A = this chain, B = another copy of it.
């Protein structure tokens, strides 16, 4: 069957679109989740929607699974290939079809790299309000399929909030085209919502319309020191009320992160270690007014004892230096060696006790482990990175995950804030979602993909 399938695949799509065996380069054999490399049954790289549709129709007819791939930068393994499945890369669909400054939207194919879309928006005097660390490699289709977050969610929201239109190829090759790009369109069900954050289980995103934002003319960066997590929350409430939509970043670094990474990555610190530190970003449309508003907000926070110290950057360069410690996350593997990363959400009122309980619990159970905590707490999002002692085995890693995810379940949080479930968090989906919710996800999946060929074994697939 398999051999004749690959032959029919070649017959249908031609050798330009299909690669087999040794012709499949290593980069298509894994994503950033770090799972063992797997060579897919075939690699297909269509140049347009019709070719995606033809591929899906064939795979649907023959019952052959398909794993959609964007930039393969996901760290949950949603794009990790399977030996029995076609890997479908959208990387050749890179056309930016329109950048409309009046309507404030961009129309693009799914394979456009995020940075290219950001750059096209800037050229039109606007900005795209989605920004994540993998901007130079991740693709719009993958950004939407994982409902990506990032550092500016507090201001501009998740990927879902930017999607004004989608074109999607269903499992059987049917093309769903909602590309009118209207901000208001309540004509029946908004079916495109189904595919946002669906991790490739319900359809293949081929094109999109994304909202653009007016570009701010001024920005301010401040690094603040607080006594404890409760003071950090008080600071969030204070600056949110003072700055409103001018607050565009609120990044917390707990002492574990701040101290370990400054020493390990050799970053000179603008403020000495102590309690948690917060990076505040503000953007605005009148430079002097923005500066005064931020100065006043920080001054009040110092006077009221919410802050113990604060530095407001005097220049763009100084702002970049304040961010250096937060951006040292790229050095995790150098500083810590192998890590177990967690991307979770925690209700704000549980943040203080949960962070303390996680750090204390890990220290008590795994002596010698290093646990670093940082995150976007205005969005409920906590990142926790744990380096277990060198002697630790797979059992210790599993026990660690159980410990962390159980704590997240018990505080009413989510086991995946922004990276999805993919291949590696499937065991924990029921920590956050009820049986009824998972049954509903699977019922929708069975309706849209009755042969279960789209990304089997990932996320909520049965």
Contact = CB atoms under 8 A, between A and B. Distances in A.
Interface of A: 100-104, 125, 146-147, 149, 153, 157-158, 160-161, 170, 174-178, 180-191, 193-194, 196-198, 201-202, 213-216, 233, 236-237, 240-246, 284-286, 289, 292-293, 345, 347-349, 376, 378-381, 412-421, 425, 429, 431-434, 436-438, 440-441, 443-444, 446-448, 459-460
A158 B146 CA distance: 22
B183 A380 contact: yes
B414 A185 contact: yes
Given A193-B194, A194-B194, A289-B293, A415 B182 contact: no
A241 B447 contact: no
B420 A214 contact: no
Contacts of A202: 189
Contacts of A160: 190, 193
A126 to B, nearest CB: 9
A287 B197 CA distance: 40
Contacts of A432: 180, 185, 187-188
B188 A438 contact: yes
A291 to B, nearest CB: 11
A186 B419 contact: yes
Contacts of A376: 184
A380 B414 contact: no
B191 A440 contact: yes
Given A244-B285, A286-B293, A437 B188 contact: yes
B417 A186 contact: yes
A425 B188 CA distance: 10
A149 B216 contact: no
A286 B285 contact: no
A411 B188 CA distance: 19
Given A157-B161, A189-B441, A190-B193, 8 more contacts: A103-B348, A185-B414, A188-B438, A191-B440, A194-B194, A244-B245, A289-B289, A443-B448
Contact of A444 (B104, B244, B447): B447
18 contacts: A100-B349, A102-B237, A104-B240, A146-B186, A147-B186, A153-B183, A174-B436, A182-B380, A183-B378, A183-B381, A186-B418, A187-B415, A188-B429, A188-B432, A189-B202, A214-B243, A214-B244, A245-B246
A98 to B, nearest CB: 10
A101 B436 CA distance: 30
A237 B437 CA distance: 42
B436 A176 contact: yes
A68 to B, nearest CB: 16
Given A286-B292, A345-B184, A197 B191 contact: no
Given A102-B348, A180-B414, A414-B184, A242 B198 contact: no
Nearest to A439: B174
A105 B282 CA distance: 22
A304 to B, nearest CB: 16
A337 to B, nearest CB: 28
From A188, A215, A414, residue with most partner B Cβ within 10 Å: A188
A459 B190 CA distance: 12
A53 to B, nearest CB: 11
A243 B285 contact: yes
A186 B285 contact: no
A420 B241 CA distance: 34
Nearest to A247: B214
Given A293-B286, A429-B188, A441-B188, A182 B434 contact: no
A460 B180 contact: no
Contact of A184 (B158, B184, B243, B444): B158
Given A285-B293, A418-B186, A433-B188, A347 B214 contact: no
Given A184-B153, A414-B184, A178 B437 contact: yes
A293 B447 CA distance: 52
From A125, A182, A233, A420, residue with most partner B Cβ within 10 Å: A182
Nearest to A175: B436
Contacts of A241: 125, 214-215
